[in-house]
Amino acid sequence: MLPAATERILSTLADDALVLDVGGWAAPFNRADWVLDLMPYETRGAMGSYGAGPERFSAETWVCRDICAREPWPFADDQFDFAMCVTTLEDVRDPIWVCSEISRVARAGYVEVPTIEHELIYNVDGRGPWLGHDHHRWLVDADGAGGLVFRHKPHSIHHDWTLRVLPRWQERMTLEDHLLGVFWEGVIHASEDVMVIGYPFDEWRARIRARFRPTRAELAVKEGRDAVRHAAARAKRPVRRLAERGLRVLSGLGHGSRRVWGASRRPWPGRRT
């Protein structure tokens, strides 16, 4: 969680304000009076916690449930003065529903998600040759009106070098480059940009180049490497097709196709004609 956001929340909340932490299992907010999460209270805090202790929530105010179940959460309208949801929306299957329920049960709040730049980091934390975290379902961005827009994270991005934020570029990123925080009052607006035709890849490429400014030499090396890979792939096509044709023939032999018995189209032994 962004330190500036933590400081702002703690400095502005009244002591008697009722606070809900949605999805706070891995690192709960100690100031929260209630926590709503799929995981149990006893296993909390795998990644620490936020804000000075002690915890204000307890086992009795820790509610275990699927926050995307499309059933109203067990809280009244505007029950909470403040609700927060930090680095959770990108993980869950229905963030639009979660945002609608947060807006229903709280008067104001704070949500935080990874930025597009963070989700395009190549081999993040050394976990594998893909972009961003492999368990994230969504690419999230600001909608320009104080809300969030969600796009399904496609697998095709992992092989596109033009979208990669390289590890050496990551070293120049600030915490604000990694995390997008939004404070809201009344309603947190959230929408899904359903991808039917295509993703805004060109926009993201432009953002990456504007932020990290790769040199012409870097781009030339990458473009040359990409051209070599494409040429190698094209050269392999005839060999691959020949191999596939051979496999089909062998498969026919294995299944005793009529062609095995010759081209005379004689009936199979024992078959009635």
Do the domain assignments include residue 105? yes
Which pLDDT band, with edges at 50, 70 and 90, does 61 fall under?
A: very high
Percent of the chain at pLDDT > 70 equals: 86
CA gap 183, 5 in Å, rounded: 9
Nearest 10 degrees: CA dihedral of 35, 188, 192, 87? -40
Q: Are residues 82 and 196 in the same domain?
A: yes
Q: Are residues 130 and 188 in the same domain?
A: yes
Do the domain assignments include residue 35? yes
What value, to the nearest 5°, has the Cα angle with vertex 185 and ends 39 and 32? 35
> Looking at the predicted structure, is the pLDDT value of residue 273 above 50?
no
Do the domain assignments include residue 229? yes
Do the domain assignments include residue 70? yes
Q: Are residues 200 and 226 in the same domain?
A: no
Q: Are residues 188 and 58 in the same domain?
A: yes
Q: Are residues 35 and 124 in the same domain?
A: yes
Number of domains present in the structure of the chain: 2
Q: Are residues 84 and 150 in the same domain?
A: yes
Residue 241, amino acid = R
> Looking at the predicted structure, is the pLDDT value of residue 146 above 80?
yes
User: 158 to each of 50, 79, 81, 128, 162, how far by Cα in Å?
Assistant: 32, 42, 41, 10, 10
Do the domain assignments include residue 262? no
Q: Are residues 15 and 119 in the same domain?
A: yes
Q: What three-state secondary structure class fits 98?
A: helix
Range of the domain at 237: 219-256
Which pLDDT band, with edges at 50, 70 and 90, does 98 fall under?
A: very high
What value, to the nearest 5°, has the Cα angle with vertex 88 and ends 87 and 89? 105
Query: What pLDDT is stored for residue 262 in this prediction?
Result: 46
121 near 165, Cβ under 8 Å?
Answer: yes
CA gap 208, 249 in Å, rounded: 49
Mean pLDDT computed over every residue of the chain: 88
Q: How many CA atoms lie within 13 A of 84 on its CB side?
A: 29
- Residue 180's DSSP bridge partners are 113
- Residue 152's DSSP bridge partners are 138
Mean pLDDT highest for which of 37-51, 200-214, 241-255?
Answer: 37-51
Q: Are residues 15 and 92 in the same domain?
A: yes
Do the domain assignments include residue 270? no
The pair of structure tokens assigned to 131 is 């972009």
Residue 231: CB partners within 8 Å, gap ≥ 6? none
- Which residue did the predictor score with more confidence, 52 or 61? 61
The secondary element (H helix, E strand) that includes residue 36 is strand 34-37
Q: Tens digit of pLDDT for each residue in 232-266?
A: 667 767 777 777 787 787 777 665 545 444 444 45
Q: How many CA atoms lie within 13 A of 158 on its CB side?
A: 11
Q: Are residues 210 and 223 in the same domain?
A: no
Do the domain assignments include residue 263? no
The secondary element (H helix, E strand) that includes residue 150 is strand 148-152
Q: Are residues 226 and 163 in the same domain?
A: no
